[in-house]
Structure 1
């Protein structure tokens, strides 16, 4: 019997970061997509839910209080439900047509599809920037990656900075940093299937 292709509707097991990436991918892929002229729920409603969840996820990570974590979890549920409803709409329109399903940004049960998160980022390198207090960050690129996240901290500190985002593996500038202090940086890759492990840390004495 031939495989009946469909958009997958399971989001409950995704990590928070994976859910954000998946939702962003779906909204981006379905925006102005001629295959899906009247999404239900609307992409605007899904984006509002995604923005709310992303904001509360960031707050929970910064402060880590039980209240912030509870608010984050509460905002996740309506986002998951909206994505599930959107998947039913996509499946109803696509009727098992694989290329149409893939254009939606949803993961599918297509034969041969192997769900893999990115590999660990390798060859993270720090060097002096052109100005005092500036550091250049380079690392080995990966294929089929949506973006990279990186964080830095002074070696004497325990807390990492907020996550910064880049689409390039070369010539990323971190500034301003304190001169004559040692800093460390870590990087990870993000694709449509989730978030990779953090790289080994790279270190530099800021000049």
Structure 2
């Protein structure tokens, strides 16, 4: 019996990071995609919901209060609802055509395990930013990854900074930092299948 391919609409069991990566992947894949000319809801609306969820997630992790966690959980619900609605739209347009479906960025029942958990990030390099108290972070790009996370700390300290997200493997600026101090940085990659291992630490003295 032939499989009818479709975008999966279940998001409630996804971890917060996984949901954020999935939403960002979908928005990036569907933007200017000729197959999806009138997405419902509009991608700008989904992006606003993602930005709100991302901000509240960062606040909850930074402060960890019950109120911040509740606000984060509340902001997740409309994002899940928008993604479900967008999945229905994608399924109605693609009508089971796998290559078109995959171009949407949605996880599908026909991906066949082609996307795997990211590898450990390699090639992490630090350099001077344009101003004193800045570092530039670069690392090797991976396939099937739309989001990376990085953290930094003064070398010798136990606690890392909060996690910062970026979609670029080049020219990430870390600031403000204390001049003449040595910092260390680590990076990891995320996709819809999970989170990769943290990279080896890269260190440098900030000018």
Q: TM-score when scaled to structure 1?
A: 0.81
Q: What aligned pairs does 1:64-143 form with structure 2 within 5 A after superposition?
A: 64-110=64-110, 112-126=112-126, 133=133, 135=135, 137-143=137-143
| CA pair 100-172 structure 1, distance change in 2 beyond 3 A | closer
Answering whether residue 11 of structure 2 is matched by residue 18 of structure 1, we say no
Question: Aligned residue for 1:177?
Answer: 177
| CA pair 152-43 structure 1, distance change in 2 beyond 3 A | same
Structure 1 window deviating more from structure 2 (156-165 vs 12-21): it is 156-165
Distance apart, 1:39 and its partner CA: 2.6
Largest Rg, 1 or 2:
1
Question: Aligned residue for 2:8?
Answer: 8
Gaps of 5+ in 2: none
Question: Aligned residue for 2:161?
Answer: 160
What is the distance in 2 between the residues matched to 1:135 and 1:28?
Answer: 27
Distance apart, 1:201 and its partner CA: 2.5
What is the distance in 1 between the residues matched to 2:177 and 2:34?
Answer: 47
| CA pair 161-51 structure 1, distance change in 2 beyond 3 A | closer
Answering whether residue 22 of structure 2 is matched by residue 46 of structure 1, we say no
Q: What aligned pairs does 1:185-196 form with structure 2 within 5 A after superposition?
A: 185-196=185-196
CA RMSD of aligned residues (A): 2.8
Gaps of 5+ in 1: none
Q: TM-score when scaled to structure 2?
A: 0.81
What is the distance in 2 between the residues matched to 1:164 and 1:86?
Answer: 24
1:25-46 residue CA offsets vs partner (Å, 9 max, x unmatched):
2223333434333333333332
Distance apart, 1:8 and its partner CA: 1.1
Answering whether residue 142 of structure 2 is matched by residue 148 of structure 1, we say no
Matched positions, count: 206
What secondary structure is seen at the aligned counterpart in 2 of 1:178?
Answer: coil
| CA pair 44-202 structure 1, distance change in 2 beyond 3 A | closer
| CA pair 65-120 structure 1, distance change in 2 beyond 3 A | same
Does structure 1 retain, via aligned residues, the 8 Å contact 2:21–2:147? Answer: no
| CA pair 38-70 structure 1, distance change in 2 beyond 3 A | same
Structure 1 window deviating more from structure 2 (72-81 vs 127-136): it is 127-136
